[in-house]
Amino acid sequence: MERVVIVTGANSGIGLALCERLLAVDSQLRLCLACRNMRRAEAARAALLTSHTGARVDLLHLDVGSVQSVFTAAQEVKTRYNKIDFLYLNAGIMPNPQVDIGAFFKGLFSRNAINMFATAEGILTQQDRLNSDGLQEVFATNLFGHFLLIRELEPLLCQTGHISRVVWTSSSNAQRSAFSIEDMQHRNGSEPYSSSKYASDMVSLALNKHKNSQGLFSSVICPGLVMTNLTYGILPSFFWTLIMPIMYLIRIFTNTFTLTPYNGAEALHWLFLQTPESLDPRAKYHSLTSARGINYTIPRQMDIDDETSEILYDKLLELERVMRKKLSERNADTEAQTY
C-alpha cells in the first residue's frame, strides 16, 4: 500500500539523508519534501531521483517559521493527500551559536567530559531575534510552526481506522534547565535552541496523551552530533574536517558522534519500521554509531513531567488562537487596502 510521508527541512542534512533511506526501504512511497527554499528543494528532489529513478517525490513550499506559510502549506497538503502516514518534523535552526571556550576546557578535564560532548550542556549559547509574526525565531521554527502544522493537518492525521505518526527531530541538547514555562519562547535566555527542543519533547508527550485514541502517535529522536549546515554554523567546515580524527577518537567514548547525515538519520529510519504500540512515549530515540561504524537506535527516558507538558500544550493552543486572530485581522486589513 502506498504510504504518504512528509519531511520538513528535507533539502539538506539529516532530512535529506532520511529521504534517501526511506526511498531505499519503500519504493512505493509518496514522499513530500516540505521546504522553505524551492530552488534547494528542486535540487534535493533531483538528487533523490538520480538514485531512485521513478520514485514519487513531491515538493511543498513551507516556511515553518511563518504562521501564514504553515496555513497555506497545510491547505495544499489537504488538497493533495487524503491521509498522512508519517510527518517528520525535522526543520530546525540554531542561529548565531557561540561556544564558551573557557567552559569547554573546564569540562574537558572534568568527570563530566563525556556528557559535555554528548549534550553540549553548559558550553553552547545562541542569539535569537523576533520574526515578522512577533515570535522568537527559534521557538517559531523549531516548535510552534510544527505544532501549528499538526493542528492544521489534524483532519488527515486523526482519522478513524488509520494510524498516523509524527516524529520530532529533537536533540540531546534539550535541557530542562534551559526551559521555563513562564517564558516558553525563551525571550530572556541565551539557550533558545535547547529550550525549543525540550519543549518539543514535552509536546510529543502531550500529543500522545491527547491523540493516541484518535490514531495519532508522536515520537522524538536525537540524531547525535552530525556534520551539516547547522554544525557548520558553530565551527567552519574546514575546522571540522581538520579535527575529524579527534572526532573519531571521541566516538570511542561516546557513540553519540554519528557524524554523517546518513548515520544521524538512523533513529528516524528505525522508527519508520516500528509499530507505534511498541514505542515508549516518554523515551527519546537516539541514533548512535559505534567506534566500528555500526549504527543502532536506543531509547532513553526523557527528563519531563506530565504536568508541565500539559500546561505547555494549553499555552500553545492559546498562542495558536492569538495568532489566528492576528492573521485574520492582518488579512482583512490587506484586503481593505486593495479595494
Ligand X SMILES: CC(C)CCC[C@@H](C)[C@H]1CC[C@H]2C3=C(CC[C@]12C)[C@@]1(C)CCC(=O)[C@@H](C)[C@@H]1CC3
Positions in 64-123 near ligand X (CB under 6 A):
99, 104, 117, 119-120, 123
Going by their DSSP bridges, the two strands 98-99 and 124-125 should be labelled as: antiparallel
For residue 214, the minimal CB distance to ligand NDP (Å) is: 26
Q: Using CA atoms in the order 173, 179, 183, 185, what is the torsion angle rounded to 10 degrees?
A: 20
Q: Considering 88, 193, 198, 285, which one is annotated as catalytic?
A: 193
Residue whose cell numbers read 504500540? 277
Which residues of the shown chain bind ligand NDP in the complex (CB under 6 A)? 8-9, 11-15, 35-37, 40, 62-65, 90-93, 141, 169, 171, 222-223, 225-226, 228-231
Angle formed at CA 174 by CA 169 and CA 180, multiple of 5 degrees: 125
For residue 107, the minimal CB distance to ligand X (Å) is: 9
Whole-number Å distance between alpha carbons of 155 and 319: 20
List CB contacts of 42: < 8 A, sequence separation 6 or more. Answer: 59
> Smaller CB distance to ligand X: residue 69 or 219?
219
List CB contacts of 227: < 8 A, sequence separation 6 or more. Answer: 237, 240, 259, 260, 261
Whether 193 sits among the annotated catalytic residues: the reply is yes
> Smaller CB distance to ligand X: residue 164 or 173?
173
Positions in 206-235 near ligand X (CB under 6 A):
222, 225, 231, 234-235
Question: What is the 3 state secondary structure string of 82-113?
Answer: CCCCEEEECCCCCCCCEECHHHHHHHHCCCCH
> Smaller CB distance to ligand NDP: residue 138 or 316?
138
Positions in 241-260 near ligand X (CB under 6 A):
243, 246-247, 250
| H-only helix segments in the chain | 13-25, 38-51, 67-80, 101-108, 113-119, 137-139, 145-152, 154-157, 192-211, 229-232, 237-242, 244-251, 261-264, 266-272, 306-338
Positions in 252-311 near ligand X (CB under 6 A):
none
Query: Which of ligand NDP, ligand X, none does residue 137 bind (CB under 5 to 8 Å by kind)?
Result: none
Query: Which of ligand X, ligand NDP, none does residue 123 bind (CB under 5 to 8 Å by kind)?
Result: ligand X
Query: Which of ligand NDP, ligand X, none does residue 107 bind (CB under 5 to 8 Å by kind)?
Result: none
C-alpha dihedral sign at 319, 325, 329, 335:
positive
For residue 263, the minimal CB distance to ligand X (Å) is: 13
Query: Which of ligand X, ligand NDP, none does residue 40 bind (CB under 5 to 8 Å by kind)?
Result: ligand NDP
Candidate ranges 22-30, 167-175, 284-292, 320-328; the one touching ligand X (CB under 6 A): 167-175
Query: How distant, in Å, are the alpha carbons of 7, 100, 125 from that of 192?
Result: 23, 16, 8
Select the residue interacting with ligand X from 173, 218, 263, 289 (CB under 6 A). 173
Residue whose cell numbers read 509518496? 30
Applying CB under 6 A, the residues found at the interface with ligand X are: 99, 104, 117, 119-120, 123-124, 171-173, 222, 225, 231, 234-235, 243, 246-247, 250
> Hey, which residues are catalytic here?
193
